[in-house]
């Protein structure tokens, strides 16, 4: 149903923009395409889907500095905040300059093995280092810009952006960060030490995850729930603030808190 809705809305949107003199190009994908779209020179990018669609598009669009209008065809929609029934009005607002831009931090994720880089990823939400087996406990040593936090025995660790704080990290008991903050969030998943708690660090810091030796389970890196890499003992995974930020259209300064109230069913009263 989402695919059919996306195709119909994309066609209607193309007609509407064409009538106003705008040239359009439509990129459609299922899963992960072998060749990502190249929207160089575009004035605006519009995503049709859920938050996952925005996450995929962010990797392509953030380096280009193109603002994104996210139309929600999914369920929750923390990032994709525009209702499918409101796309005409919101598109008109964007083109007329009535929407503001929220510049969202992106993560740069680098994996090094034997002092050589073996992989590099970009993420809008988070990177997760975790066990891949049924008994998922792994031992991971964590440092922040060279300062040791210790070795964590847990199901894994999440390093997220403020935008990603409402995703997997929130389900794992982490705090919610305002998406305009310049910070990174470190959150252990089900740690076996009660004193291990989430930690918010300045965005300038580098969080390093070291995969200890003699693991009982295989270890895997997951980036935005879309990219996966099997890790080996002795691998280093570095999480840094990217030099690029995603420009995301929003309705105003308080729109994020309105989304929180709506999506998390906060009443604001004594029964909240």
- Closest by CA position to 43, among listed 23, 18, 63: 23
Pairing status of strand 227-231 against strand 199-202: unpaired
How many domains in the chain?
A: 2
pTM of the shown model:
0.91
Task: Name beta bridge partners: 220.
Answer: 130, 230
- As given in the structure block, the two tokens for residue 70 are 């996210």
The answer, yes or no, to whether residue 49 has pLDDT greater than 70, is yes
Region 194-199: mean pLDDT is 89
Q: What is the pLDDT of residue 251?
A: 79
Count of CB atoms situated within 10 Å of the CB of 241: 19
Pairing status of strand 207-211 against strand 156-160: unpaired
Which residues, 6+ apart, have CB-to-CB distance to 263 below 8 Å? 76, 77, 78
Q: Residue 237, SS3?
A: strand
For the segment 201-247, what is each residue's pLDDT rounded down to a tens digit?
A: 999 999 999 999 988 889 999 999 999 999 999 999 999 999 999 99
Count of CB atoms situated within 10 Å of the CB of 134: 6
* Domain extent at residue 188: 106-243
Residues 150, 61 share a domain: no
- Alpha helix positions (H), 33-120: 51-61, 87-95
Is 269 among the domain residues? no
Catalytic residue among 51, 126, 224, 235: 51
Please indicate whether residue 178 is annotated as part of the active site.
no
Return d(Cα 188, Cα 240) in angstroms, integer: 17
Q: What is the pLDDT of residue 267?
A: 67
Categorize the per-residue pLDDT at 196 as very low, low, confident or very high, splitting at 50, 70 and 90.
Answer: confident
Say which range, 108-112, 174-178, 193-197, 235-239, has the weakest mean pLDDT. Answer: 193-197
Residues 257, 209 share a domain: no
Return d(Cα 178, Cα 127) in angstroms, integer: 18
Q: What is the pLDDT of residue 212?
A: 96
Rg for the chain, CA atoms, rounded: 20
Is 91 among the domain residues? yes
Here the CATH number for the domain that contains residue 60 is 3.40.50.10330
Residues 164, 83 share a domain: no
Q: What is the pLDDT of residue 221?
A: 98
Residues 54, 159 share a domain: no
Residues 174, 196 share a domain: yes
Pairing status of strand 207-211 against strand 199-202: unpaired
Is 235 among the domain residues? yes
Residues 234, 175 share a domain: yes
Here the CATH number for the domain that contains residue 148 is 2.60.200.30
Would you list the DSSP string of 178-211? -TT--EEEEEEES-SSTT---EEEETT--EEEEE
Residues 200, 111 share a domain: yes
On whether the CB atoms of residues 158 and 172 are closer than 8 A, the answer is yes
């Amino acid at each position: 149903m989402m695919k059919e809705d996306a195709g119909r809305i994309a066609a209607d949107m193309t007609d509407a923009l064409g009538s106003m003199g705008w040239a359009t190009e439509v990129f459609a994908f299922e899963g992960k395409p072998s060749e990502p779209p190249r929207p160089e020179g575009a004035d605006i990018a519009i995503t049709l889907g859920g938050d996952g669609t925005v996450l995929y598009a962010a990797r392509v669009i953030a380096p280009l500095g193109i603002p994104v209008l996210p139309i929600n065809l999914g369920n929750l929609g923390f990032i994709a905040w525009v209702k499918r029934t409101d796309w005409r009005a919101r598109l008109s607002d964007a083109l007329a300059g009535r929407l503001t831009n929220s510049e969202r931090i992106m993560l740069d994720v680098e994996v090094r093995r034997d002092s050589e880089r073996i992989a590099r990823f970009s993420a809008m939400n988070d990177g997760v280092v975790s066990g891949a087996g049924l008994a998922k406990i792994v031992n991971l040593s964590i440092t922040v810009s060279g300062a040791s936090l210790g070795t964590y025995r847990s199901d894994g660790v999440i390093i997220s952006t403020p935008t990603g704080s409402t995703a997997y990290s929130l389900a794992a008991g982490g705090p919610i960060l305002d998406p305009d903050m310049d910070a990174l969030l470190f959150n252990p998943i089900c740690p076996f030490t009660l004193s291990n708690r989430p930690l918010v660090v300045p965005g300038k810091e580098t969080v390093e995850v070291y995969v200890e030796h003699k693991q009982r389970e295989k270890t895997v890196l997951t980036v935005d729930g879309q990219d996966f890499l099997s890790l080996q003992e002795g691998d280093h995974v570095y999480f840094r603030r990217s030099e690029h930020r995603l420009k995301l259209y929003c309705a105003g300064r308080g729109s994020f808190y309105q989304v929180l109230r709506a999506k998390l069913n906060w009443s604001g009263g004594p029964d909240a």
